[in-house]
Amino acid sequence: MKAMLALEDGRVFEGKSFGAPGDRTGEVVFNTAMTGYQEILTDPSYRGQMVCMTYSLIGNYGLNAEDVESKKPWLECFIVKECSRIYSSWRGQKTLPGYMKKNKIMGIEGIDTRALTRHIRLKGAMRAAVSTKDFNKKSLVRKAKNSPLLIGRDLVKEVASKKSYSWSSKGKRLVVVIDCGVKYNILRLLAGLGCKVKIVPAKTSAEAILKLKPDGILVSNGPGDPAAITYTIDTVKSLLGKLPVFGICLGHQIIGLALGGRTYKLKFGHHGANHPVKDLVNDRISITSQNHGFCVDVKSLKNKGVELTHVNLNDNTVEGISCRKLNVSSVQFHPEAAPGPRDAEYLFSEFVNKL
């Protein structure tokens, strides 16, 4: 089935559909990972976005029931050069096209993904429209232009759990996870370190969280503009200084805002599994997995008792902060992912040791 992708600046790409039919809009970003497409598909942080994979062949090891990071796929469209219809891994259970169609996710292949990636790299991430029905270029470009921006958009309410639930009831210490779109491996690692893990919705108040008598708080990853998640920012602000708090990705940005800082949108964001990050405290470098379009402005945290702990070696943007006085720390990357493969897992141990 024919498919067409149009960017808001008028650039159009033609290809073939390998997922569900229909029409979708979203912000196009590129991901430089060579593997991990199942984790990318099921990462709630990609809500509202279309993901272009820079590696040429995707789907060759299939999908399985163990590697999901949430209950379903969240992205708007998956863009690849070539989609494999067969898989050869002993762990494979489903084909990528079959999984996409079953979950009603659009996919487009056969386009020049190098050209699309370079275009975004030069021009910046931008809105797009994809269709298997409308092949009028002007119409598709118009749909892209009329689609909502990510700036100022609260997407957490679309992916976060609406009810509290327990992930693990065994352990000496209780960690409450504020769910902004949490990935399952964050919960697995906390449980693996001997923690009881309870997940609460993003709109849960500080008072309700404190009634659970937690030993620590983790603010999870998630999609959209962190500045729009005012309810979680207010909750975190009320929790600071009362018990250890750790944030990941969107959670890091929310902590930065709760400390009185600002965030801004990056030109094309960081999406991939090969980002070098330097830990300024321990003088070590980790290869990290990243997925974010916004960043904390470290200058806005000056004179607030906040220490810069991690920096991205590609562009020198903020990758981690801490405030010893308030017993809070956070990182922009995903220490629960395994690109290094376990370069950054020490951060979970450091957090748990504070409880």
- Classify domain 2-146 at the CATH class level: alpha beta
**22 pLDDT higher than 90:** yes
Helix (H) or strand (E) holding 330, with range, is strand 328-331
336 is catalytic: yes
What pairs with residue 7 in β-bridges? 128
Catalytic residue, candidates 180, 271, 334, 345: 334
Residues 6+ apart with CB under 8 A from 246: 216, 217, 218, 219, 328, 329, 330, 347, 351
| pLDDT tens digits for range 38-89 | 999 999 999 999 999 999 999 999 999 999 999 999 999 999 999 999 999 9
Which of 52, 83, 249, 323 is the catalytic position? 249
Q: In this structure, which topology does domain 156-353 adopt according to CATH? A: Rossmann fold (3.40.50)
Residue 103 in contact with residue 78, Cβ under 8 Å? Answer: no
Catalytic residue, chosen from 39, 69, 336, 345, is 336
**310: annotated active-site residue:** no
> If you average pLDDT over residues 228-247, what whole number do you get?
97
State pTM to two decimals: 0.96
Sign of CA dihedral 99, 105, 106, 107: negative
Q: Residue ranges per domain, the chain? A: 2-146, 156-353
249 catalytically annotated: yes
How far apart CA 311 and CA 16 sit, in angstroms, is 40
Model pLDDT for residues 89-136, shown as the tens digit of each residue = 999 999 999 999 999 999 999 999 999 999 999 999 999 999 999 999
Nearest to 198 by CA among 173, 232, 175: 175
For residue 304, what pLDDT is reported?
Answer: 87
Residue 326's Cβ-side half-sphere holds a number of Cα atoms within 13 Å equal to 23
